[in-house]
Chains A and B, each alone.
Chain A
Amino acid sequence: MNHRVLADWIMKRLFTLTGYFTILILIGILYLLFSNAIKAFSHIPFSSFFDLHWNPSAHGEPLYGVFQLLWSSLLVTLGSMLIAVPLGIGVAAYLSEIASPKVRKTIRPLIEILAGIPSVTIGFIGIVLIGPFIADVFHLSNGFNALNGSILLAFMALPTIISVSEDALRSVPPSFREASYALGANKWLTLIKVVIPAAGSGIVAACILGFGRAIGETMTVLMVTGNATAMPHSFFDPVRTLTAAIAIELGEVPYNSPHYYGLFVLGIILFFISLGVNFLSEWVASKLRYKI
Chain B
Amino acid sequence: MSVISKNITSFIGLRFLGLCTIVVLAFILLVLIDIIWKGAGTLSWDFIFTVPRKGMTEGGIYPALVGTTMVTVITAIFSIPVGVATAVYLNEYASDNMFTKILRASIRNLAGVPSIIYGLFGVALFVEALRLGNSVVSSGLTLGLMTLPYIITATEEALRSVPHSHREGALALGATKWEAIKTIILPSAIAGITTGAILGVSRAAGETAPILFTGVTFYLRFPPDTLDSEFMALPYHLYILSTQHHAIEQVRPLAYGTALVLILLIVVLNIIAFIIRNKYAKELVK
Known: A124-B255, A186-B7. A191 touches B13 (CB 8 A): yes
| Interface assignment of A181: CB less than 8 Å from any CB of chain B | no
Indicate the size class of the contact surface on chain A: 35 or more
The answer to whether B18 and A98 have CB atoms under 8 Å apart is yes
| Interface assignment of A138: CB less than 8 Å from any CB of chain B | no
The answer to whether A121 and B24 have CB atoms under 8 Å apart is no
Q: Which residues in chain A, 58-111, are within 8 Å of chain B measured between CB atoms?
A: 86-87, 90-91, 93-95, 97-99, 107, 109-111
Q: In whole angstroms, how far apart are the Cα atoms of A107 and B92 in the complex?
A: 36
Q: In whole angstroms, how far apart are the Cα atoms of A243 and B19 in the complex?
A: 33
Q: A165 → chain B, closest Cβ, in Å?
A: 12
The answer to whether A8 and B176 have CB atoms under 8 Å apart is yes
The answer to whether B117 and A267 have CB atoms under 8 Å apart is yes
User: What residues of chain A lie closer than 8 Å to B176, measured between beta carbons?
Assistant: 4-5, 7-8
Binary contact readout A1-44 vs B (1 if CB under 8 angstroms, 0 otherwise)? 00011011001101110110111011011001100100000000
| Interface assignment of A136: CB less than 8 Å from any CB of chain B | no
Q: In whole angstroms, how far apart are the Cα atoms of A29 and B148 in the complex?
A: 13
Binary contact readout A204-240 vs B (1 if CB under 8 angstroms, 0 otherwise)? 0000010011011111000100000000000000000
| Interface assignment of A55: CB less than 8 Å from any CB of chain B | no
The answer to whether A12 and B93 have CB atoms under 8 Å apart is yes
| Interface assignment of A274: CB less than 8 Å from any CB of chain B | yes
Known: A7-B176, A16-B93. A119 touches B208 (CB 8 A): yes
The answer to whether A216 and B113 have CB atoms under 8 Å apart is yes
User: What residues of chain B lie closer than 8 Å to A4, measured between beta carbons?
Assistant: 176, 179
Surface stretch bound by A, among B57-65, B124-132, B161-169, B220-228: B124-132
| Interface assignment of B250: CB less than 8 Å from any CB of chain A | no
Please give the residue numbers on chain A whose beta carbons come within 8 Å of chain B beta carbons, in ascending order: 4-5, 7-8, 11-12, 14-16, 18-19, 21-23, 25-26, 28-29, 32-33, 36, 86-87, 90-91, 93-95, 97-99, 107, 109-114, 116-125, 127-129, 155, 158, 162, 186-189, 191-192, 209, 212-213, 215-219, 223, 243, 246-247, 250-251, 255, 263-264, 267, 270-271, 274-275, 277-279, 282
> What are the 3 A-B residue pairs with the smallest beta carbon separation, nearest first?
A216-B114, A90-B20, A118-B206
Q: Can you spell out 13 A-B residue pairs with CB atoms less than 8 angstroms apart?
A: A15-B89, A16-B93, A19-B86, A19-B93, A97-B17, A114-B31, A117-B263, A120-B208, A121-B259, A124-B238, A129-B34, A155-B27, A188-B9
Sample of 10 further A-B pairs with CB below 8 A, known A8-B178, A12-B178, A28-B125? A4-B179, A18-B85, A19-B85, A90-B17, A97-B17, A111-B24, A128-B34, A216-B113, A216-B115, A250-B120
